[in-house]
Amino acid sequence: MKKIKKALISVSNKEELMPLLNTLSKYKIKLISSGGTYNKIKKLKHKCIEISKYTNSPEILNGRVKTLHPKIHAGILSKRNNKSHKKELIKNNFDEIDLVIVNFYPFEETLKNTKNHSKIIEDIDVGGPTMVRAAAKNYNDVTVITSPKQYKGLINELRFNKGSTSLTFRQKMSEEAFSETAYYDALISNYFNKISKNFFPKKKIFYSNLVEKLRYGENPHQESAVYSKTNKLDISQIHGKQLSYNNYNDIFSALIISKSLPKNIGTVIVKHANPCGVSINKNNKKSYQLALACDPVSAFGGVVSCNYKVNKNLALELNKIFLEVIIANGFEKEAIRILKKKKNLRIIDAKNLAFENMYNFMSNFNSILVQSTDINPFVKKNFRIVSKKKPSAIELKNLIFAFNICRFVKSNAIVLAKNNTTVGIGSGQPSRLDSCKIAINKMHQFQKTNNTDGIVAASDAFFPFVDGIETLVQAGISAIIQPSGSIRDKEIIKFANKTETVLVFSKTRHFKH
């Protein structure tokens, strides 16, 4: 146990101070503080010594130097059982500081609120992290508190131990303190990487906050958690069972497709992180029905993502089959009431989710793969018509729609589409030809008509041989879009011309492994 006699308080977030100050006062703990924190403590009618008076050194450089003083850091870093340390403190007339309560300038909030570089630089805290690191290093003798969320635990610790703290508590607070300083430095490091456009620096620092520990990972024997760069996710669960690792994986897969669709239009159905139906019909209910019709068997127990607000009529339709998760850009009250009849159905509101450039990470064998996301919207200049037969405006729109969905399907990927709706999807096969056959079989299995007029196909990469495109044409496909780059591109174009098939080449490939 370590008795706390003197505490240094310097906080940017001045909430919840009163209960803490009352407890410190109860155990006759002397307070040192500076600037706004000192004024706040005095306003709350508690005794406090201002740091400049404590050190006999004024704040200088517009407040940049306040706590960076030997009397402060010697008081924090001295080992209580080290005789030479004790002698040096006595010689210099320095006192021990037993408790450090510090939280930093709100650098993260500043980044959200301004692009003014000078303002951002001034909100990089120097003294705060320095004191926290010193106190955390000396946890054997010093208690460090870095967040108002820890005040309650400190208060309970002091009450239980009559003004002292246990080694276990101090060590736990030290662990959290070093995480706090590391997170803070990572924010600053990433800010400088961003402004210099150095997206792959020699040392890459990752930072995130725990959102929640999950029940388990992909399988029950695996541990799992979800983290976010902010303190929360930009999606909110408003009903249903706790989300699992697999739920999150499917939700993220569904959302990235949804957010690539036209604003407030389109329905996506995902199963095992693969789309099994997508439609951008302007009628929301019909878009869901058309997406479902693409592969109703796979949709069972899947995730539906509605790129619009769900109303009562659609809610009634959604409740007709078993679904794990329903996502939307908001829900009408009556729709919520209807969907909540299924107590385990997870309902997710994603209206606050922003669609922006991000980076994807994959980790194995103590290595991390990093890449930018493949989400840039397609425009006509991304494509080149290489066949003699030219696509109509409707055909080209359908081709680009299919190609957009294709990039979110596990490779090798083939997407068949008509009227801005998928009618067959082949995914995740080592052979592109097999993906073609799966997509065609799905189309024949679930479409209510044998009429293939207007059906187009998209491939996420080039056809290495004619057999793939030949299989599609024999199934009645009239237009195909694929990336160029094969040594047999000329053979593919020749076959398209021979069969009077529209062929469009993309300038970019879109694998998703």
* Bridge partner residues of 303 (DSSP): 270, 325
The token pair that represents 30 in the structure block: 């002397």
Residue 14, phi then psi, degrees to nearest 5: -100, 20
DSSP H helical segments within 196-271, as ranges?
A: 245-258
Half-sphere exposure of 137 (CA within 13 A, CB side): 14
Instruction: Please name the residue that has the structure tokens 């989710």.
Output: 353
Q: What is the rounded distance in angstroms from the CA atom of residue 500 to the CA atom of residue 489?
A: 16
Beta strand pairing call for 30-33 and 49-50:
parallel
Helices 151-160, 17-26: axis angle to 10 degrees equals: 20
C-beta contacts of 432-435 below 8 A and 24+ residues apart: 432/459, 432/461, 432/463, 432/464, 432/468, 433/465, 433/467, 433/468, 433/471
Q: What is the rounded distance in angstroms from the CA atom of residue 403 to the CA atom of residue 440?
A: 16
| Residue of 14, 73, 272, 285 marked catalytic | 272
In this structure, the number of other CB atoms found within 10 A of the CB of residue 265 comes to 18
Q: Is residue 175 classed as helix, strand or coil in its secondary structure?
A: helix
Q: What is the DSSP string of 265-328?
A: --EEEEETTEEEEEE--SSHHHHHHHHHHH-HHHHTT-EEEESS-B-HHHHHHHTTS--SEEEE
Beta-strand runs (E) in 402-507:
414-418, 421-426, 456-459, 479-483, 502-506
The CA–CA distances, whole Å, from 286 to 289, 290, 292, 350 equal 5, 6, 10, 21
- Closest by alpha carbon to 177, among 218, 147, 200? 147
| Residue of 14, 137, 286, 312 marked catalytic | 137
- Closest by alpha carbon to 227, among 199, 252, 192? 252
The answer to whether 137 is a known catalytic residue is yes
Q: What is the DSSP string of 70-132?
A: HHHHHHHH--TT-HHHHHHHHHHT-----EEEEE---HHHHHHH---HHHHHHT--SHHHHHH
The answer to whether 328 touches 309, Cβ cutoff 8 Å, is: yes
Catalytically annotated residues: 137, 272
